[in-house]
Structure 1
Amino acid sequence: MSAPKQRAEMNQTLLGATNCTGSSPNELSNSVKRFQVIVSLITLALGLVLNVAALWSLCLKFKKWTVSAIYMTNLIISDVLLLFSLPFKTYAYQTEEWPLGLGFCKFLESLYYVNMYTSILITTLISVDRYIAIKHPFLAGTIRSPKKTVIGCVVVWIIIWSCCIYIYSKESSQNCFYNHSSSVWKPTTVATVQSIFLITALIMIFCSARIIQTLQRNGTLNTEKKDNSKSVKIVLSNLLTFLVCFTPYHVGILLYFAARNCWVPGSYTVPLRNFLQICLCLANVNCVLDALYYYFVINEFWKSSRKSLRATSQIVKLN
């Protein structure tokens, strides 16, 4: 038996799943590999520049650690860490054997998937926080604080890191970012991942809809209507970014899971694997879109703060 065939059979055994087509678990079309390289390099370059710019603006324009500043800082850190793993993920799919060791591979895989779900959960927390602040302002005064926000973010990081380090544990150092341990594709794991996304998506949709409804209803002066219109656009763009980036990926997980378990014809396994990798690239673009969102929010905050300062100074002069 040839060495490549032996390697493919060993990989299939390590993966612990039924391969309906007999194809290699990491088989991707050349066009998808080229797509990965192009999209990942663009995402990495734009993501790093925009996230660093957003972090710089955040540190410059926020004079103290507010609830919003803490959330945005955690999201920027999460996105930057995911971007760090992107070139290694791209390289792993271009080579037949991972040369950088098992420990570094485990770290990179955890880094990649940890920060994807950290971003999902913290974005959801931001949506809930915004909903409480706008819809229930009196309640917000008692339950919103920088200290509680820090605790919430720390809890998210601990939970996601703990889960991902367990799930993405490698049994071989030969490959990285594919041929995960069999626990990755267990029905309970897939169901948990899908449940997390579905619950967070429903929360995002509910909170965003209620916020937009409230903002459109309020505001009688022209200036208030203009400010509320900008706020509506921010909320709506955040929701659309979340759904567009993460929904296809989770649909892809379900479809590929069905193919691995032979619930669909075997000829669909490789196309669905290709589809899943394309969806992952789309999910990574969230790092770029998030950075644009942060920058816009920070600038809007800065403009409103300067308007308030001018109004206060004029009142002082009149008195």
Structure 2
Amino acid sequence: MFLSDTMMSSNCSFEDVDHLMKYMELVIYIPVFIFGLILNTVALFVFCVILRKWTESTIYMSSLALMDLLLLFLLPFKMHASNHQWSAYLLSFCSVLESLYFVGIYGGIYTIMCIALDRWVAICHPYKAKQLRSPAKALGICVGVWVLVLVSIFPKSYHFRNPEQKTFHCFHTFSETGWSPPVIICLQVFGFLGPALVVIYCSVCTIRALQRSGQHSQLSQACVKIIYSSLSAFLLPFTPSHVAILLQFLVRSTAMIQDCSTKSSISLFIQVTLCLSNITCCLDALCYYFIAHEVRSMRKSFKMVVRVAQDVTS
């Protein structure tokens, strides 16, 4: 999961890694919090006030901005928890914060997947798009994503901590239940790998379709930039962190990795990548810029967009 975890062992010590991460987390989280808060707030203002007309794209991106703001709201708690132990009476409060953090992360992943699917349908299947796409359907899908991640995460995350602890580090050191094989397999397959394959497939197909059209190059290039920015905002933060989670799982649950220096390297790798995964709140701003450009272009030349889509399928 997207929470740093001190890998304790009777033979290995990771105090140096933990000490380094106390400062590194602050160095990463503070600029992410400041810039992410500004960029996502501005994005919501643009979508809700300046653009005014709601389209499928602006609805998906507004939902993604709300997911990012949820993550940003939790960063101060993560920064505090990195340097302070919490008392046992805050255990339930910590579980709520951790659950909301998961909701923001995996809700964002599924929202990006929906954006890729929506764009694939619009460009690669323009005739079906009229029946499959609408602002109302996009809003329903976004609400469905929020409900899905809330229902999937909250009931499980409350069992990831030992209730007998007198003091603990929130966002750190899950119990064995949190690192059980069913949890990690579901996290890797349904939380990341499945959505990643969908995003990559839809992005590749859409880019090829736009390149084959060979017409209205400026609009096509703008769409390609949107796709690349969305793909980058997905893969750059989340791929290393999920690889690190898998390595951490192998350390905790198997005897495959025994060397202390290797364990220490994995401990540093997972904590750094989990910290850096929060830059998704800033990377999504690239998508916001291109989406805003896309919406304005479509307003000015809707008929031209339709012709491009028809040429793609001919």
Answer yes or no: same fold by TM over 0.5. Answer: yes
Identity of aligned residues (%): 36
1:180 aligned partner: 174
Find the partner of 1:274 among 242, 256, 268. 268
1:257 aligned partner: 249
Find the partner of 2:225 among 228, 233, 256. 233
Q: Distance in 2 between matches of 1:162 and 1:114?
A: 10
2:162 aligned partner: 171
Q: 1:58 to 1:84 in 2, by over 3 A?
A: same
Give TM-score, length-normalised by structure 2. Answer: 0.85
2:238 aligned partner: 246
Give TM-score, length-normalised by structure 1. Answer: 0.84
Please state if 1:37 is matched with 2:26.
yes
- How far the C-alpha of 1:33 sits from its partner, in A, is 2.0
Q: How do 1:278-297 and structure 2 match up within 5 A?
A: 278-297=272-291
Cα deviations across residues 271-291 of structure 1 (Å, max 9, x unaligned)?
Answer: 312211111122100110102
Unaligned 5+ segments in structure 2 are: 304-314
Q: Specify the code of the residue in structure 2 equivalent to 1:293.
A: C
- How far the C-alpha of 1:22 sits from its partner, in A, is 4.9
2:309 aligned partner: none
Q: Specify the code of the residue in structure 2 equivalent to 1:257.
A: F
Q: 1:100 to 1:44 in 2, by over 3 A?
A: farther
Please state if 1:86 is matched with 2:72.
no
Q: Distance in 2 between matches of 1:25 and 1:107?
A: 28
Q: 1:131 to 1:307 in 2, by over 3 A?
A: closer
2:48 aligned partner: 59
1:49 aligned partner: 38
Classify the secondary structure of the residue corresponding to 1:264. Answer: coil
2:101 aligned partner: 112
Contact 2:60 2:138 in 1 (8 A): yes
1:299 aligned partner: 293
Q: 1:180 to 1:39 in 2, by over 3 A?
A: same
- How far the C-alpha of 1:151 sits from its partner, in A, is 2.2
- How far the C-alpha of 1:301 sits from its partner, in A, is 2.1
Alpha carbon RMSD of aligned pairs, Å? Answer: 2.5
Q: Specify the code of the residue in structure 1 equivalent to 2:21.
A: V
Q: Distance in 1 between matches of 2:14 and 2:86?
A: 14
Q: Distance in 2 between matches of 1:26 and 1:118?
A: 33
- How far the C-alpha of 1:93 sits from its partner, in A, is 1.4
Q: 1:255 to 1:164 in 2, by over 3 A?
A: same
- How far the C-alpha of 1:117 sits from its partner, in A, is 0.3
Q: Distance in 2 between matches of 1:207 and 1:60?
A: 30
2:308 aligned partner: none
Classify the secondary structure of the residue corresponding to 1:29. Answer: helix
- How far the C-alpha of 1:111 sits from its partner, in A, is 1.2
Deviates more, 1:46-55 or 1:140-149: 140-149
Q: Specify the code of the residue in structure 2 equivalent to 1:46.
A: F
Please state if 1:203 is matched with 2:198.
yes
